[in-house]
Every structure is written in structure tokens, then in C-alpha cells.
Structure 1
Amino acid sequence: MHKAVFLFGGQGSQYFNMGEELYRSNATFRNTLLWLDEEASRILGTSVIEQVYNKDKKMGDVFDDLRYTNPALFMVQYAMVKVLQEELRIYPAYVLGYSLGEMVAAAVSGAVHPLNMLAALIRQAEHIDQVCRKGGMMAVLDDPGLYQQEPEVFRNITLAAVNYNEHFIVAADDPALKRLKAYLDVTGKVYSQLPVKYAFHTQMMDPARDGFMDSFRNISFSNPTIPFLSGVYAKQLYATSPAYYWEVVREPICFNEAVKELERKGEYFYIDCSPSGTLKNLLSKMLSPASGSVHHNIMSPFRDELRRLQLLKQQYSFTTF
């Protein structure tokens, strides 16, 4: 029997109109978003939903305003979980997040109340906007060894994550990324600039530390009731704290190692709750050909969410019984 693992994505997986088909057609998804948006609007003074489903924006337009992407990523993925639990009766044996996705995983696990985590994410975004220099993040589809082989090219650039043997993430300020882009263009290497305006997982985030920690002031933490797998330490955590969530945005991402830790324990049904389907795609490269695990996503920039939700229901029932 394959136990379910819920996966959550971070900055870079967002886009305008993400989850729109579900928002228009699924009452559970829509009502969860409206509930969360009420709290977000109270703090921000404006609706996050109106930003995400802005009729003047197309899917290809860059959505990188941290004030809205931080809460939007949380809201959309948390709403997806409610659909899985309340309509499909799928409950996770583990939750695992990629970068900011760990904040969603924490709320789903019961470690932090979702409204409290949402409020903290909004305050964090506001503080980062105030104190951190602009930068960016880039996905490179090549051997991560390139990072050590070309020290001058990667000067002042931080290796934020190694996702698999031909995919890694780097972060830096804009001049350093411009230099890297020129090198990648000349050498014909494939890369993608993420829609992120800050160099998360680098020392450029350090000015935000105190304000980030303060964003959790007066928020209580509980022991997770659903096993919470850390994307920083690649192991199960039995308690979290503001200091841990700071590590989530400051330290390298160890999602690949966390998945390997799970795979050592058995076979799973991984459900990518992110809006992009990126984690499902990463798993297709991460997992050993001998693995009996299954992976599925519902949302993607190509829509088709209702059909994929029905397909998940059928596939999950077939795989777990």
C-alpha cells in the first residue's frame, strides 16, 4: 500500500491565474481561498485573490511582487490540500516542502495555525522588501559539478539547491546573474530565470533575519500531528520554531536528500500540491528506476485541473488498495 506524501512548492512556482479552473469550479478550493483571503486582506489592505486572478494579467506575465506571491503560494497550496482531504479523502503520511513550501507543510502538519502562518508570511514579505537588496534565482539544467569547475563564472553566486544530477539552482545579485547568463548563453547551456526578485538562500537575506523572526511574535507552535519532513535537514522534525523557518529561507534546499530519506523507508504516492507541477517533474528525475513510488500533480500552467483531479482519484484508489 502506497502512503500519500503531500509536496509543496516555493518561490518561482507562481504565476497569474494559478489554480483558476479550481477556483471557478470547485467550491472547497474557492471557499478555502476566500477564507484565507479575508485574513490577508485585513493585513494588506487589499485582496490577494484579486491580484492572482487579475483579468488584465496573462499567465505569461511575470508575477514577482513578494507582497502577493508569498501569501498567494501559501493560499493556493493550502486550498489544494483541503480539496484532497475533504473531497478525495486523501490524507498524507508525510508532508514535505521546497523552500517556502515548508511553511505550507507546517500549517498542514498542525505545527502552526494556517492563519498565523499566512500572517507571518505577509509580514516577512513586507520586511524583506524594506531591508534586502534585489537579486534573483536561476535554474541551470546541467551537471552541478559545473559550480566547482567554473569558480570565476560562479563568483559571488550561491548554490541554493541541487535537485538532481542535471539540475541545480543558484542565487545572487543581478550583476552576478547577468555574468552567469552571458556564460550560459555562449556555452549553449539551458537555464531558466525564476520569477523571484530576491536571492533567497544566500547571505543577501541576512539583513532580514531579525524582522523575519519577529514576524512570528505571539504565534504559538505545536508538535506536528502529521509527520513533517524537513527540507533543510532531510529528516523528520518533531517540533519547529521561528529559528527553523529562518533556516528554510536562508540555508540551502535539501529536497532531493529528503526524498531519498523517504525512499529508504518504502514506496509512496507523492502528490505535488504546487501550482506549477515542478516537484512532480523533479521527482521523475530524482527517483530511481527501481522505485515503486508514484507521483501526480493537479495544477499546472496548462490548466486541465479538474480532469487531473479526477485522474488522481482513480489512480490513488487503484494504487493504495
Structure 2
Amino acid sequence: MKKNIVFMFSGQGSQYYHMGKELYCKNAVFRRWMSTLDDIVYKNVGLSITDEIYNKTKSKADNFDHLLYTHPAIFMVEYSLARVLIESGIEPDYVLGASLGEFTSAAVAGIISVEETIECLLKQAKLIESCCELGSMIAIIHNPELYYQVQEISLNSDLAAINYFSHFVISGNSKKLLKIEEYLINRNITFQTIPVRYGFHSSNIDSIENEYIKKIHKIFFKKPGIPIISSLLSGNAIEFSPKYFWDIARQPIYFEKTILKFEKIGQFNYIDLGPSGTLANFVKKILNKDSLSQIYDVLTPFGQDIKKFEKIKERMF
């Protein structure tokens, strides 16, 4: 039986310098779409995102966390990669986004144009950078119940995401999160600081909510041409509004719950089109051993973009 195809798109924290470079150099479709989207960004803010992503003076190990660059950069890479697959005949039956990745889902599904998507992302980035205090996000490798059980954690942060049974993310004020890091170190609990400057999915960005919604309220949201699975709603997203596109940055992500609920429908080919293959790794942790669903990624910091893309083409046809 043919498995339906799910395109998955990740958000902030998945970016790095030179992401998708092999495709950018060798795949005409990817390069064309990156150039088209880069032109849109340049017309809005006078910045070339491709010049920054593929900056020869930077390495993959360098911090890539300037929001006015990373917000559009993640979208550009994900959308361009989606177009590579679509134009090669691999079309999604569903799109699934997590956090900023929901913007890419919306654009691929035709809810908003790429121009409107970029406009939304740039406005959000500008507001956060000008109005919000610096913050942090931490991925904790432990049962998410720890968040509710330990006041040291819950009183000093907001729950940002539950990705699978032993991986969750907290967000908030940098100084408060340093206290949490100290707690985790003392108890030998593994964690990783996510490469972002602001506390997404936390009260640290609450100050821009009204202004952001006001700035995007004129956008007309069309009906999706492809069913959208939302990690915000843990299911199908049907109605869209400026408030929805605020909530995907502010409210928690329930990725595990979303996948488990989706798996009850049938079998799928999950294709991670994010920069790091993060969501593919999460899905591998979530699926039951008897699941017949397949998982693929294309981009990771370790390269082999073209080889992985060709493998997907072989498997889909």
C-alpha cells in the first residue's frame, strides 16, 4: 500500500552557516528559489540572506543567531528544498510544521504567498530584536514530567516543546535559565543550549504580541491546498488568523503528541526538509517498533545533500 508523504519543517535552532550549500551549488531549482526569495528579502530590508548563509569567512561551528537573518534563512532553505522535491514529482499529501516551520507549511500549502510569509517573518524578527530582552532556550534530555515535578525549572522558565518521551525544551530569561543549568549539572541531567538569542515560546516575547498581530492583520489567509498538520494544535489546522501565526511562536509545541495522533491514521513517508534533520530524529524516537512508516532527511550539518535527495527520489517512485 502506498504511503502518504508528509513534508516536515523545523524552526529556530535548526539553522547553521552553509546549510544546503551542496544543493545551492549543484541543484538549479534550489538555487533559483533561494535567489528568488533572497530578492524578496532584499527589497524589504536591504539584506542578502544567501550572502550571509554562504559567507566564506564563516564556518558551520560559528554562531548563526542574528534573528533578522535566521528567520528568513530557515524559511528560504525549507521552502526552496520543498520546491526541489515538488518539481521533481514528489508532492506532499500533508505538511507538518514545528514553530517557525509552520510558516513554511503555510506557504507550501498556499495559505499565504511567499512574499507575505517573508513579510511576516521579517516583522516578527524586527519587533523581537527591538522590543524583547535577550533570552535562552534549553533542550533537556529527560522525561518531560521533570518540568512539572521540579519547581526550580517550572518557576524559572516556560515549557517550549515536548519533542518525545525523553526530550523537552524550556525557554525564558537567560539569567533564570543559568540557574536551571546549574541544577541540571548538579544532578547529571544532560541538556543542550539551543543557538538562539531570544526566548521563543515564553513570556519573554509577550510584549510584542499586540503590535505583531496588528502588523499582519491585513493578510488574507486562503484555504490550504494541502492538509496542514500543526504541532501547535497537535492535529489538522483548518482556520488561520494573525493570532494563529502569533501562537506558533509563543505557545508550546507538542511534537510527540502530534506524531502519535497522526500515526493512528495510517502509514507515512516522513520527509524532514529542515536544515538539520532534527524532526526526522524526533520521529525515529517516537514511532513504535511495529510502525511501517518511513523517515527521511535531506539536509544535515554533515552534508551529503545530493545523495540523500537522490535516495528519496528512488524510494518515492
For Structure 1 versus Structure 2, the TM-score category normalised by the shorter chain is over 0.9
SS in 2 for 1:222: coil
Q: Which residue of 2 aligns with 1:2?
A: 3
Q: Contact between 2:95 and 2:105, CA under 8 Å: does it hold in 1?
A: yes
Task: Give matches, 1:7-156, under 5 Å.
Answer: 7-87=8-88, 89-156=89-156
Q: Contact between 1:222 and 1:239, CA under 8 Å: does it hold in 2?
A: no
Q: Matches of 1:284 and 1:237 in 2, distance apart?
A: 24
* CA deviations over 1:135-156 (Å, ceiling 9, x no partner): 0111011111211222124422
Task: Give matches, 1:178-257, under 5 Å.
Answer: 178-257=178-257
Name the aligned partner's letter for residue 215 of structure 2: S
- Per the normalisation by structure 1, the TM-score is 0.96
Q: Matches of 2:211 and 2:20 in 1, distance apart?
A: 31
Q: How far did 1:160 drift? A: 1.1
Q: How far did 1:189 drift? A: 1.7
Q: Contact between 1:74 and 1:101, CA under 8 Å: does it hold in 2?
A: yes
Task: Give matches, 1:284-299, under 5 Å.
Answer: 284-299=284-299
* Structure 2: segments with no counterpart, 5+ residues: none
Q: Matches of 1:196 and 1:129 in 2, distance apart?
A: 12
Q: How far did 1:118 drift? A: 0.8
* CA deviations over 1:231-261 (Å, ceiling 9, x no partner): 1111212231111111111111122222122
SS in 1 for 2:144: coil
Q: Matches of 1:51 and 1:219 in 2, distance apart?
A: 29
Q: Matches of 1:144 and 1:262 in 2, distance apart?
A: 21
Q: Contact between 2:156 and 2:177, CA under 8 Å: does it hold in 1?
A: no
Q: Matches of 2:18 and 2:152 in 1, distance apart?
A: 39
Q: Matches of 1:289 and 1:212 in 2, distance apart?
A: 43
What is the CA RMSD across the aligned residues, in angstroms? 1.1
Q: Contact between 2:172 and 2:203, CA under 8 Å: does it hold in 1?
A: no
Name the aligned partner's letter for residue 238 of structure 1: I
Task: Give matches, 1:163-178, under 5 Å.
Answer: 163-178=163-178
Q: Contact between 1:270 and 1:295, CA under 8 Å: does it hold in 2?
A: yes
Name the aligned partner's letter for residue 32 of structure 1: W
Name the aligned partner's letter for residue 144 of structure 2: P
Q: Matches of 2:20 and 2:40 in 1, distance apart?
A: 20
Q: Matches of 1:147 and 1:123 in 2, distance apart?
A: 32
* CA deviations over 1:91-120 (Å, ceiling 9, x no partner): 111111010000000000111111111111
Q: Matches of 2:137 and 2:215 in 1, distance apart?
A: 24
Name the aligned partner's letter for residue 92 of structure 1: P
* CA deviations over 1:50-78 (Å, ceiling 9, x no partner): 11111111001111110010000000000
Q: Which residue of 2 aligns with 1:312?
A: 312
Name the aligned partner's letter for residue 254 of structure 2: C
Q: Matches of 1:147 and 1:124 in 2, distance apart?
A: 28
Q: Contact between 1:111 and 1:239, CA under 8 Å: does it hold in 2?
A: no
SS in 1 for 2:111: coil
Name the aligned partner's letter for residue 15 of structure 1: Y
Q: How far did 1:218 drift? A: 3.2
Q: Contact between 1:142 and 1:167, CA under 8 Å: does it hold in 2?
A: yes
User: Quick one: structure 1 residues 52 and 215, their matched pair in 2 at CA, closer, same or farther if it must change by over 3 Å?
Assistant: farther
Q: How far did 1:39 drift? A: 0.6
Give structure 1 regions of 4+ aligned residues with deviation exceeding 4 angstroms.
Answer: none
Q: Matches of 1:206 and 1:74 in 2, distance apart?
A: 23
Q: How far did 1:217 drift? A: 4.1
Name the aligned partner's letter for residue 230 of structure 1: S
User: Quick one: structure 1 residues 269 and 132, their matched pair in 2 at CA, closer, same or farther if it must change by over 3 Å?
Assistant: same
Percentage of pairs with the same residue: 37
Q: Contact between 1:124 and 1:211, CA under 8 Å: does it hold in 2?
A: no
Q: Contact between 2:165 and 2:256, CA under 8 Å: does it hold in 1?
A: no
SS in 2 for 1:206: helix
